[in-house]
Each structure stands twice: as C-alpha cells, then as structure tokens.
Amino acid sequence: VLLRILSAVVMLPLLLAVIFLLPPWGTLALALVAVALAVWEYAAISAALGAPLPRLVAVVGAMAACAAFVADEPPLAVVLSALVVSAGGLAIAGGRPTRDMLAAVASTAFPALWIGIPLGAIVALRYFGSPETLLPLIFTIVVSDSAQYYTGRALGKRPLSPAISPKKTIEGALGGMVFAVPAMVWSGSYFLPGVGLAWLALLGAAIAVLGMAGDLFESALKRAADLKDSSGLIPGHGGILDRLDAWFFAAPVYYAFLRSW
C-alpha cells in the first residue's frame, strides 16, 4: 500500500507539471512515451496468449495513431489503414498461410485502437483546449480508482468478477461510482463552463463505469496470459497498462462528449 501511495505521489504531480508547465508538445511527448511502453507490455501479453507480433510495427502504429490526433497529415484513417496493410504484409511474408495469421494481424493492429487512440484523444484536448479541460477527467479517474481500492479493502465482501479479478468487489465498485459522480460535478463546474450539473453527473458515472470496464478488460487479458502485472515498471502499481487501463476506455468518451457539447 505504501509503495502504491508513494508512486502516485510522484506520478500525478509529474503529469500535471507536463500538462500545465510545458507547451502542448510536452503532453504529446509524454503520451508517445506511454504508448511505446504500454504497447511493449501488451506485446508480451499477446505472445503469452499465442499471438506473437512484430513489436516495432505495433509500437510505431500505435504512436502514429496517437500523434494523428494533432497532426495535419496523415489523418488517422490513413494511419490505421497503413498499419493493417503493414501487419498483413508481414503475415504473408513467410509465403505460407497459417492458422494464426488472422490473430497475428489483429493483435498487431489492436494497440493502435486500444492504446494509441485514447491517449491521442487526451493529447488533442490539451492541444485544442486549455490545460484545465483535462482536470475533470484526471480528477474523476483518480478519485474513482482510489475509492474502489480503499472501499473494497474496508468494506468489500462480494466479488465483482471472481473469474477475472478476485480482489475486486461489488462494494468497491459502488464506492468508485459514489465518489466519481461528485468528483466530476465539482471539478466540471469549475473547468467545464456551460455543462449542466446533470450532464456532469452522468459523465462522472460513465467515466467510473468505463474505467472499471477498462480495468477488468486488462485484468482479463493478464488472467488469460497467466500474468499478475503487465510489468514491474511502477512500484506498487505494476506496469503502464496496469496504471492506464481505466483511461483507455474512459478518455475517448470524455473526448467525444466535449467535442459534441
């Protein structure tokens, strides 16, 4: 628990410093580093699940998908198409069809969708809006994640999804939801002017649910691959995927909400 707290104390101020003290390219640079590390961890999980992939292609493809959100050229559709073509070309380079060919291509292209696009959405909000626009998302995810963890430890009795993540409980999930809604309402009322309180409450609930779903999805991949953590990069937290799994599902919805408001 102490390592978890200390790691968070270091990481959160670093993230905020990059967002607020550096120009927008700083957020992009940090996101690209996170994408590369996350895809590298994902490649190990994919290989353990019987779908080894060309790591360099997957890393470059996911980084390009992230950067495409703020680059004039090439557009995201071209990046994704080029990634699929590259993955398909490598799959047939051996000259013989194999039963795992489709899995290899899909596994190579998937990180761009799961990792690159969500982090690209966050970068786009920083590039085309104010840094404060990101604060409600960051605050709500941090509050929800912490509430799930500590509520689950204090009150958790009924497992949420025992086959995927035995330590997660229904009580912890409810705690995350209960705290996420006021976290979004409070922060959004300051940093998202013009958005009504009812919409902020719904957005907070959606981020909490999506964050939990993202966490469970990554846990399911690790469970299937017989891995406890995606890596040991972050003391007390595991790897980059373990730290960002909630963001991968929540960030695109937050981005879409603000774009359509």
Q: What DSSP element (H or E) covers 165?
A: strand 165-169
Nearest alpha-carbon partner for 145 in 212, 228, 205? 212
The pLDDT value given to residue 6? 67
b/e sequence 15-49, b meaning 16+ C-beta within 10 Å: beebbeeeebeebbebbbebbbbbbbbbbbbbeeb
The pLDDT value given to residue 237? 74
Contact present, 123 and 70 (Cβ < 8 Å): yes
pLDDT tens track, the chain, 261 positions: 566 666 677 788 999 999 999 999 999 999 999 999 999 999 999 999 999 999 999 999 999 999 999 998 889 999 999 999 999 999 888 777 888 889 989 999 999 999 999 999 999 999 999 999 999 999 999 999 999 999 999 998 999 999 999 889 999 999 999 999 999 999 999 999 999 999 999 999 999 999 999 999 999 999 999 999 999 888 777 899 999 999 999 999 999 999 998
Burial tier of 196 (Cβ tally within 10 Å: 0-12, 13-18, 19+): exposed
The pLDDT value given to residue 234? 84
Q: Phi, psi (5° rounding) for residue 167?
A: -80, -15
Cα separation, 184 vs 221, in Å, equals 29
Report pLDDT digits (tens) over 117-156: 999 999 999 999 999 999 999 999 999 999 999 999 999 8
The pLDDT value given to residue 190? 95
DSSP state letter for 178: H
The pLDDT value given to residue 95? 74
Cα separation, 185 vs 204, in Å, equals 7
Retrieve residue 16's tokens.
């905020």
Residue 95's region, left for phi above 0, alpha for psi from -120 to 50, else beta, is: left
Cα separation, 113 vs 106, in Å, equals 11
The pLDDT value given to residue 99? 81
Contact present, 168 and 160 (Cβ < 8 Å): yes
The pLDDT value given to residue 36? 98
The pLDDT value given to residue 158? 94
Burial tier of 148 (Cβ tally within 10 Å: 0-12, 13-18, 19+): buried
The pLDDT value given to residue 4? 62
The pLDDT value given to residue 150? 92
